[in-house]
A and B are shown apart, each in its own frame.
Chain A
Amino acid sequence: MRNNLRLLKALTWVVGGGFLLILPFLIPTRMHVAIIALYYAILASSWALLAGYGGQFSFAHMAFAGLGAYTAGLVGKFFRLTTAPTHVCHEWSLGGWWLVVQDTGSPTCLETAKASMPAGTVIMQFPSWLDITLGILVGGLFGLLIGALVLRLRRTYLALFTIAFAEILRTAINAERDITGGPGGLKVAPLFPDGITLFGHHFSAADKWPPYLVMLILFLGIMALMYWLAGSRFGLFIRSIREDEEAAGSLGVHVVRYKILLFTVTAMFAAAAGGVYAHFVRVIAPNMMVIKEMSVVISMAVIGGMESLLGAAIGAILIEFALEQLRNDITIGSFTLHMTDWRLVVFGALLMITLRFWGNGLIYPIIQRITRRGVAEETVAKRLQAAAANPEEPST
């Protein structure tokens, strides 16, 4: 019987992943939305792990995504690998290659040095996977720091502290326009600058299929990782910390270690999503870290179901598509409703009402119902079997 449940779970994964894989064929004109939806799904479900499972109400999740995105962008802007030294920039020798850090001047030191470098010198950017990895590491590092700093803070204090962190980070990125480009944004190279050949078909750099696949793999990987985490001792421990920190500690849960670990891991997930997002949208601005974005992610998680990773992810995908659908203005007679703004009003109201009346979200109960039905059938089958085995026992 347990095998049946496992099969059902595996089947769900295959069907879900398969559906997401063929989704672009169904809506070829909306691939952009699909990629952004997956980006939000990663953020919402990792926030659900942090807040719904662990009870840590952090508002810095978008800041971690921003850290991932900006690390990827800044590495692409300032770091180069060359085959000859420049003698002008800061540089380190890496066995035949030189790691060159450009300055903010115009022209940059590398451009000035180019003239004097020997012919045939190769100057290349970091590959995308490497700067995304660096972004994940930076995100994890900050998650570790924040996690260690907020150990003593609960609920409201934690929320205030993380808002403060997110705002300081955003302000700093906004203000240091020499380095980050400020509110105007930072240009990021595409995910595969020279295009990529997959299954015998060449995709150009602007093609949306490769970023979709990368985001999808990232999403499925993170979901699998999170389900594994949530089902392991780690998940049990963080849930016990959510319910009662002192009681969990007294029963032998290493509260400090698990809280920090939770922050680090979810920050890394967010940073990974941010890194891929940066390479996909190509221009990132501090606007991706404003409170509004955080509200959107929280609403997605709450409406989907904060205590369910899958619920939060489905909520995020559905809501992102709904938000895009609702962009068209509605005209009633001479009166035009500008839906670009009003859709967010509807969304805010929906968030409050969901919280008030359906604390488990709108999608999680449906998931529960579907999975429960399997359980119910199983129970019925078991009882029938038992009844067949000993016919004298009264069946209920």
Chain B
Amino acid sequence: MNFPSYFWYTVLWLIFWGAVGALVTPRVYTRKDKFTYQTAMLGAFVGAALGPVGLILLWWFTPPASLKWLGLSGLLILVWLAAAFAKADPDNLCVTSGSFIATQITNGLVIGAIYGLMALGLTLIFSILGIVSFAHGEFYMLGGMVTYYATEVWFPDLNPLVGVLIAALFTFALGAVFELLFLRPMITGQIERPGEYAILVTFGLAFFLQYTTLSLVGASPKKASRFFDYPRVKIPAETGDLLKITPGNLTFFDLISIPTARFTALMIALVLLFALLYFLYRTWTGKALRAVSQDRQAAAVTGINPKRMNTLAFALGGMLAGISGAALVQVFSWVPWVGIPASSRSFVIIVLGGMGSLPGAFIGGLILGVVEALGAGCVPDPHRAAAYLPAYGMIILVLVLLLKPTGLFGREL
């Protein structure tokens, strides 16, 4: 790699002192008879941010692991990394062009919102059924496939939004049927070791759906055309300094540009997000769902049927993934295994946000979107940048699992 080696030395330095901090700090706190909660994470952050000096200060003063110190040291780590990167590769677009960074971050947020929506489905399933569906990405893939076939092949004049609706209904029904056939026996006690069964059977479903789709539609990539063409508009009318719209692109402030297909997808995701929030917080069924996630027995006592809520949650979760896929089929090209990276993204997001936490899933989605966009845009060798795209999220996952397994907003175990 022609990338200057001192960038890697910086990274190694951060990792080394982070590891030292994570391993030693809880012991220091224990010896001093202090509260050790989250001190491994604090030690890792301070160690990485300030090296041995910071660690000695930390072990001397042993402050409680508050958000203040975690946040400050976390920010400092990012500053170090950015500085080392800028020094190592001064000609990189990420260093020289603010507009490029702003565009990357905005695009990351837009895609991240849709990832977040998909992860919301998974976290909903987890909070009600207590399982993680390893077939979540396949619902996403099917949502996109059904939309593509509905709008481009079967009914070419169909309004794309109707296509999205068909995809939603299809994935909802699929989720409900699967839950009734394969997951219902878990709670009626017909299965030994339900936890392990759930992992394997959803894994089997993923495999089944992938190859069924492959057999039916083939492996060639499919790409739906943009759902909507935007009119050409300039605000203000002469220069377009504030907002410039072309059929394929939106430009804000002459600085940030977003493809309109992504913008449409974002709008679909936002509408759906608010519909979901309305459903969960304002309707009887939604409240019942949340009640079951908080306490099954208590919910059952008040007249909610937890079994029905299980089916509803799994179907709804699948539908959210399906709609995310439907919204993105106009952005990415679609193959039967497009669900595999999508699955892993959803795992990363729900672990990052905290298993079972709805706001956590959405915010986790935004974070992952930004990280991926920056990673894809900034890594010097474009071939490597694309190849390592799935790894960025996985690195986040590994870090979260090691440092704070409950995630950002998870319920404490």
- A interface residues (Cβ-Cβ under 8 A, vs B): 51, 55, 57, 149, 152-153, 155-157, 159-161, 163-165, 167-168, 171-172, 174-175, 291-292, 295, 298-299, 302, 338, 341-342, 344-345, 347-349, 351-352, 355-356, 359
What string of 1s and 0s marks CB contacts (under 8 Å) between B273-315 and chain A? 0000000000000000000000000000000000000000000
User: Which of A149, A153, A164, A291 has the most chain B CB atoms inside 10 A of its CB?
Assistant: A164
In the complex, 18 of the A-B residue pairs with CB atoms within 8 angstroms, ordered by the A residue number, are A149-B402, A164-B344, A165-B394, A167-B394, A168-B394, A168-B398, A171-B387, A299-B207, A342-B215, A345-B211, A348-B211, A349-B208, A351-B200, A352-B205, A355-B182, A355-B197, A355-B200, A356-B182
Q: Is the CB of B391 within 8 A of A167?
A: yes
Known: A149-B402, A160-B401, A348-B208. A155 touches B215 (CB 8 A): no
- B interface residues (Cβ-Cβ under 8 A, vs A): 131-132, 134, 181-182, 185, 191-193, 195-197, 199-201, 203-212, 214-215, 340, 344, 347-348, 351, 383-384, 387-388, 390-391, 394-395, 397-398, 401-402, 405
Known: A149-B402, A352-B182. A341 touches B211 (CB 8 A): yes
Which of A55, A174, A175, A359 touches B197 (beta carbons < 8 Å)? A359
Known: A168-B394, A175-B384. A161 touches B401 (CB 8 A): yes
- What separation, in Å, do the CA atoms of A216 and B297 have in the docked complex? 54
Q: Which residues of A contact B204 (CB under 8 A)?
A: 295, 299, 348, 351-352, 355
Q: Is the CB of B208 within 8 A of A156?
A: no
- What separation, in Å, do the CA atoms of A169 and B209 have in the docked complex? 25
Q: Which residues of A contact B344 (CB under 8 A)?
A: 163-164, 167
CB B355 to nearest CB in A, in angstroms, measures 8
CB A171 to nearest CB in B, in angstroms, measures 5
CB B203 to nearest CB in A, in angstroms, measures 7
- What separation, in Å, do the CA atoms of A356 and B191 have in the docked complex? 8
User: Which of A152, A160, A163, A356 has the most chain B CB atoms inside 10 A of its CB?
Assistant: A160
> Looking across the interface, which residue of chain A has its beta carbon closest to that of B350?
A160
Q: Which residues of B contact A156 (CB under 8 A)?
A: 131-132, 195, 199
Q: Is the CB of A359 within 8 A of B192?
A: yes
Q: Which residues of A contact B195 (CB under 8 A)?
A: 155-156
Q: Which residues of B contact A348 (CB under 8 A)?
A: 204-205, 207-212
> Looking across the interface, which residue of chain A has its beta carbon closest to that of B126?
A156
Q: Which residues of B contact A164 (CB under 8 A)?
A: 344, 347-348, 394, 397-398
CB A337 to nearest CB in B, in angstroms, measures 8
CB B347 to nearest CB in A, in angstroms, measures 5
CB A220 to nearest CB in B, in angstroms, measures 28
> Looking across the interface, which residue of chain B has its beta carbon closest to that of A355?
B201
User: Which of B182, B391, B395 has the most chain A CB atoms inside 10 A of its CB?
Assistant: B391
Q: Which residues of B contact A291 (CB under 8 A)?
A: 340
> Looking across the interface, which residue of chain A has its beta carbon closest to that of B212?
A345
Q: Which residues of A contact B383 (CB under 8 A)?
A: 175
Q: Is the CB of B196 within 8 A of A57?
A: yes
Q: Is the CB of A157 within 8 A of B405?
A: yes
Q: Is the CB of B211 within 8 A of A344?
A: yes
Known: A164-B397, A168-B395. A356 touches B207 (CB 8 A): no
- What separation, in Å, do the CA atoms of A293 and B267 have in the docked complex? 38
CB A240 to nearest CB in B, in angstroms, measures 15
4 A-B pairs with least C-beta separation: A348-B208, A175-B387, A341-B215, A344-B211
Q: Which residues of B contact A57 (CB under 8 A)?
A: 196, 199-200
CB A227 to nearest CB in B, in angstroms, measures 23
SS class, residues of chain B in contact with chain A: helix
Q: Is the CB of B207 within 8 A of A351?
A: yes
CB A166 to nearest CB in B, in angstroms, measures 9
- What separation, in Å, do the CA atoms of A359 and B388 have in the docked complex? 38
> Looking across the interface, which residue of chain A has its beta carbon closest to that of B192?
A359
Q: Is the CB of B199 within 8 A of A168?
A: no
SS class, residues of chain A in contact with chain B: helix
Q: Which residues of B contact A347 (CB under 8 A)?
A: 207, 211
Given contacts A299-B207, A348-B204, 20 further A-B contacts (CB under 8 A): A149-B402, A155-B195, A157-B401, A160-B132, A163-B344, A164-B348, A168-B394, A295-B207, A341-B211, A345-B215, A348-B208, A348-B212, A349-B208, A351-B200, A352-B201, A352-B208, A356-B182, A356-B185, A356-B191, A359-B192
Q: Which residues of A contact B347 (CB under 8 A)?
A: 160, 163-164
Q: Is the CB of A298 within 8 A of B394?
A: no
Q: Is the CB of A171 within 8 A of B215?
A: no
- What separation, in Å, do the CA atoms of A345 and B197 have in the docked complex? 20
CB B145 to nearest CB in A, in angstroms, measures 15
CB B386 to nearest CB in A, in angstroms, measures 9
- What separation, in Å, do the CA atoms of A161 and B132 have in the docked complex? 13
CB B219 to nearest CB in A, in angstroms, measures 9
> Looking across the interface, which residue of chain A has its beta carbon closest to that of B219?
A341
Q: Which residues of B contact A55 (CB under 8 A)?
A: 196
Q: Which residues of A contact B196 (CB under 8 A)?
A: 51, 55, 57, 155
CB B117 to nearest CB in A, in angstroms, measures 20
Q: Which residues of B contact A51 (CB under 8 A)?
A: 196
Which of B181, B191, B206, B214 touches A359 (beta carbons < 8 Å)? B191
Q: Is the CB of B199 within 8 A of A155?
A: yes
Q: Which residues of A contact B132 (CB under 8 A)?
A: 156, 159-160
> Looking across the interface, which residue of chain B has its beta carbon closest to that of A182?
B387
- What separation, in Å, do the CA atoms of A262 and B52 have in the docked complex? 36
CB A299 to nearest CB in B, in angstroms, measures 7
Q: Which residues of B contact A356 (CB under 8 A)?
A: 181-182, 185, 191, 201
Q: Which residues of A contact B209 (CB under 8 A)?
A: 348
Q: Which residues of B contact A161 (CB under 8 A)?
A: 397-398, 401
> Looking across the interface, which residue of chain B has its beta carbon closest to that of A337?
B215
- What separation, in Å, do the CA atoms of A298 and B212 have in the docked complex? 18
Q: Which residues of B contact A302 (CB under 8 A)?
A: 200
- What separation, in Å, do the CA atoms of A348 and B201 have in the docked complex? 10
> Looking across the interface, which residue of chain A has its beta carbon closest to that of B205?
A352
Q: Which residues of B contact A352 (CB under 8 A)?
A: 182, 201, 204-205, 208
Q: Which residues of A contact B199 (CB under 8 A)?
A: 57, 155-156, 159
Q: Which residues of A contact B384 (CB under 8 A)?
A: 175
> Looking across the interface, which residue of chain A has its beta carbon closest to that of B384?
A175
Known: A157-B401, A359-B191, A359-B192. A175 touches B388 (CB 8 A): yes
Q: Which residues of A contact B181 (CB under 8 A)?
A: 356
- What separation, in Å, do the CA atoms of A152 and B191 have in the docked complex? 26
- What separation, in Å, do the CA atoms of A355 and B204 have in the docked complex? 9
> Looking across the interface, which residue of chain A has its beta carbon closest to that of B395?
A168
User: Which of B383, B395, B398, B401 has the most chain A CB atoms inside 10 A of its CB?
Assistant: B401
> Looking across the interface, which residue of chain A has its beta carbon closest to that of B401?
A161
Q: Which residues of A contact B131 (CB under 8 A)?
A: 156
Q: Is the CB of B391 within 8 A of A160?
A: no
CB B349 to nearest CB in A, in angstroms, measures 11
CB A103 to nearest CB in B, in angstroms, measures 13
CB B1 to nearest CB in A, in angstroms, measures 9
- What separation, in Å, do the CA atoms of A232 and B402 have in the docked complex? 32
CB A358 to nearest CB in B, in angstroms, measures 11
Q: Which residues of B contact A174 (CB under 8 A)?
A: 387
- What separation, in Å, do the CA atoms of A8 and B200 have in the docked complex? 34
> Looking across the interface, which residue of chain B has its beta carbon closest to that of A171?
B391
- What separation, in Å, do the CA atoms of A345 and B205 have in the docked complex? 10
Q: Is the CB of B203 within 8 A of A171?
A: no
Which of A165, A167, A338, A351 touches B390 (beta carbons < 8 Å)? A167
Q: Which residues of A contact B390 (CB under 8 A)?
A: 167, 171
